[in-house]
Amino acid sequence: MRIAILTDRFPALSETFIENQIVSLLDLGIAVTIIASGRGSTEILHASTRRILAEAQILYLPVPQPRHRRWRDALAVLVRPRAAARILGALHRIHAWPGPHEILRLILAAPVLAGEAKHFDYVFCHFAPNGSFGIWLRDVGLLQGTLLTFCHGYDFSELVQAHGPGIFERLFARGDLFVANTEYTKRRILAIGAPSARTLTLPVGLFPDRLRYRVRYAAPDRPVRFLSIGRLVEKKGHGLAIRAFRQVLDAGINARLGIIGDGPLRAELAALIAELGLGDTVTLLGRHSQESVAHLADQADLFVLASTASASGDVEGQGLVLQEAQAMGLPVIASNHNGFPEGMRDGETGMLVQEADIDALAAAMIQLAQHPENWAPMGRAGRSFVREHFDQARLTAELLGVLGARVPASARVA
């Protein structure tokens, strides 16, 4: 069996959900080819990334240049006359034409996907724009295989707000299967035209046994250690968490807040921390590998994820980090944001609060901080919940079962 993963830049530090799926396929002895739109940074690598780089085939598709460098793309087309003629001829035969940018991408991709490189049993496209490009690749003969599109968040929210609900009309008409990470995501993509008969819900997962579980408890004279993880972007709600944490301290609680991640809002968040007088209690921890994140999470007591819709419409779909925290025994406090209620048990594994409500978020943080006797039972319940519903090995086996795919006899046990 050969499976292709069509994605954006690889590696991508924040897209552990894609890497988890790839690792689960490698564990089954399946040949995996990653088709990525450009090379990602290798400055920080997860252990899973290093394994993927060693065991999977990776094909990098050239990415069109920014507008001021478009002459380089013109030159690339001129030195590939056969590729250009092939792509233009194929588009003429199918009587369908994408925009100029996509035509250029197809021409640049043609030499990379020559020969046997294009033959797959299944093509897993992560995020709807890659699904759309995958359809064009298949239509012009650069890829072969059953095409699955996994929808995660910005594809059904921010892009639809910017370009209208018909943006993925062709994808929904020609794609073979659509996978939503939550029932919320499924409702959103059905509303913009996804075919219900070819759409299923399957969450992204993790490997519970590869994450250290620890019972959480309070210790005298030690601050309560809150942790949040996510890119420093608007939809992650870090500003809300910081403002709520100010109220936690004002309630007389000895506490600390660490935020793992990096992004365009780092300077803005640092200014907010200074403005609220939190320089000694809130730390922006920056980017870390998966192993380093696990180490930092192991030292925490409570996990906070205050995600909210951004002004651009961007939202979260599932929020895998919530499941990662629960797998490690951390009680979680999360906003009632989109698919989050499906990824935890309110009152059992943590607490859900009204989205973008700083007072409600602070109240939940204060309540859990003041009642450490609830930490251990919530942590146990969270670990059990994640093991039952989000084990990546089981989710991959379920997906292959839906596809009617036979697992190779040489499958390895993780």
Please state, in angstroms and rounded to a whole number, the distance separating the CA atoms of residues 284 and 303.
15
Give the pLDDT confidence score for residue 410 in this predicted structure.
43
Q: Are strands 255-260 and 199-201 parallel, antiparallel or unpaired?
A: unpaired
> Would you say residue 5 has pLDDT above 50?
yes
- pLDDT at residue 406 in the model: 60
Whether residue 172 sits in one domain with residue 300: no
| Amino acid (1-letter code) at residue 79 | V
Is it the case that residue 22 has pLDDT exceeding 50? yes
Indicate yes or no: pTM above 0.85: yes
Residue 18 lies inside a defined structural domain of this protein: yes
pLDDT (average), residues 251-272? 98
Q: Are residues 237 and 325 in the same domain?
A: yes
Are 239 and 215 found together in one domain? Answer: yes
255 and 328 fall within a common domain: yes
Query: Six-digit token pair at 319?
Result: 């929020």
How many other CB atoms are there within 10 angstroms of residue 174's CB atom?
16
pLDDT digits (tens, 9 = 90+) for 117-159: 689 999 999 999 999 999 999 999 999 999 999 999 999 999 9
**Same structural domain for residues 339 and 311?**
yes
Residue 346 domain boundaries: 208-389
CA distances from 367 to 251, 272, 333, 363, 382 (A): 11, 24, 11, 6, 18
| Distance between first and last Cα of the chain | 19
Could you give the number of structural domains in the chain?
2
Closest listed residue to residue 33, CA positions, set 71, 76, 4: 4
The span from the CA of 71 to the CA of 263, in Å, is 31
Average pLDDT over residues 296-307: 97
Q: What is the mean pLDDT of the chain?
A: 94
250 and 365 fall within a common domain: yes
Q: Give me the CATH number covering residue 373.
A: 3.40.50.2000
Q: Which residue has the higher pLDDT, 64 or 250?
A: 250
Can you give the pLDDT at residue 101?
Answer: 87
In tens, the pLDDT along 200-247 reads 999 999 999 999 999 999 998 899 999 999 999 999 999 999 999 999
For residues 229 and 196, membership in a common domain is answered with no
Residues 172 and 151 in one domain: yes
Give residue for tokens 């996804």. 194
10 and 42 share a domain? yes
Q: Is residue 67 part of a domain?
A: no
Query: Is residue 75 predicted with pLDDT exceeding 50?
Result: yes
Q: Is residue 192 part of a domain?
A: yes
pLDDT at 112 over 80: yes
Strand order across the beta sheet in which 302-305 lies: 282-286, 255-260, 224-229, 302-305, 332-335, 350-353
Q: Do 243 and 131 fall within a single domain?
A: no
The residues near 335 (Cβ < 8 Å, ≥ 6 apart) are 237, 240, 305, 306, 307, 308, 352, 353, 354, 355, 356, 357, 361
**Is the predicted pLDDT of residue 79 greater than 90, yes or no?**
no
Residue pointed to by tokens 């995660």? 152
pLDDT band at 407 (very low <50, low <70, confident <90, very high): low
Residue 127 placed within a domain = yes
% of residues, the chain, pLDDT over 90: 87
Establish if 412 belongs to a structural domain. Answer: no
Q: Are 328 and 378 in contact (CB under 8 A)?
A: no
pLDDT at position 411 is 44
Confidence of residue 408 (pLDDT cuts 50, 70, 90): low
Answer yes or no: do 395 and 337 share one domain.
Answer: no
pLDDT at 103 > cutoff 70:
yes
8 Å CB contact between 335 and 356: yes
Q: Is the pLDDT of residue 412 over 50?
A: no
Q: Indicate whether 280 belongs to any domain.
A: yes
What's phi and psi for 165, nearest 5 deg?
A: -70, -15
* Stretch 355-371: mean pLDDT: 98
Average pLDDT over residues 348-362: 98
